[in-house]
Amino acid sequence: MNFWKQVKQNNTPFFVVAPMADVTDPAFRKLIAKYGKPDVMWTEFVSANGLMSKGREILARDLVFSEEERPIVAQLFSADPAMMEGAAKFAAELGFDGIDINMGCPDKTIEKQGAGAAMMKEPDAALAIIAAAKRGIAAAGKDIPLSVKTRVGYNAVQIDTWIPLILASGVAALTVHARTRKDLSKVPAQWELLKQVVALRDRIAPDTVIIGNGDVTSLADGKEKARSSGVDGVMVGRALFGNPWFFDATRKMTATIPQKPSSVILFLKKVFPFINTDSKRSAPVSLVRPITIEERLKVMVEHTQLFEELLGDIKSFSIMKKHYKAYCTGFRGSKELRMRLMDEAKIAADVATIVEEFLLEDNLVQ
């Protein structure tokens, strides 16, 4: 069943989570599903070769997901058709709603295998991988959509030669990062190039869903990028760091540290509840609720606890520290808190203690 059609029908543009290694793991995905669920969730990218090895039980933990995350897509990478076929069958049997092939990752170790962005240099190999994934899905007895994530080119923009090959292969969805592999993240994403991708889609494969990716900073920014480029959906990556509420339009991050009301104000409000003690005229109640520093830090602790619970026995605790840099920024004392977490935290209980002490010291807990 091609769930992409329903997603596109329900929301234009729709929003999806980017597959990021050691970021969109089962712990973070569970947190995002709880605090700001997007239209579609993606796993981090997983080696098809590894899934077909004897030690795949540990690697397969990256593919653990909860029902709350649906629809969810498993992303795989490989340059070996036999490995891709087997891994696609395995992922389909796990119950994923779709499977995606990574043909854009610039990581050198992945490119040395002929996978990721290296696929753009070997179009015949790329088509063989797509065909293999389709066979794997069919072998599992499933009817789920196959998609591809790639870039606008390798060393230069090659939309007119590379993109038509993928579209003609019959994928249900195509995500295009608006940079070349050579660009990495050194230059701004060129969303204007995605207009060409959409035009090619309209001519070659009208039913294929096009998703844009690169430098999306907010829901409003994503909507504007989609409007100007014509893509159907928007993929969000780095902006999710420290912000599992990103996809919830009713919440907004704030750097304001709430202060306790003075004793005089508390007394006046208790004795004369009808008196407005605010210095400014009261504003209408907003539909957008601020995400306070206290809430942000408590969710960081929850994130750590989930990581320890789901992955603590197979992954290094240091993976969490990239998240601490994102959670702890932009407010008074954030640098000192971040340094304590980097230096002292070894387990989730340490993080909870450090955060609790910080909140008490700064009078955030009332």
Q: Supply the residues annotated as catalytic.
A: 105
Both tokens assigned to 362? 């700064």
Both tokens assigned to 196? 């060409």
CA–CA dist 146, 173 (Å, integer) = 7
- Helix/strand/coil percent split, the chain, to 5: 50, 15, 40
Q: 101 by DSSP, 3-state: which?
A: strand
Give 103's contacts (C-beta < 8 A, 6+ positions apart).
Answer: 77, 116, 117, 119, 120, 126, 129, 148, 149, 150, 166
List the beta bridge partners of residue 234: 15, 212
List the beta bridge partners of residue 176: 150, 212
The residue whose two tokens read 């001519």 is 203
Q: What is the DSSP string of 172-185?
A: SEEEEEEEETTTTT
CB atoms within 10 A of CB 95: 15
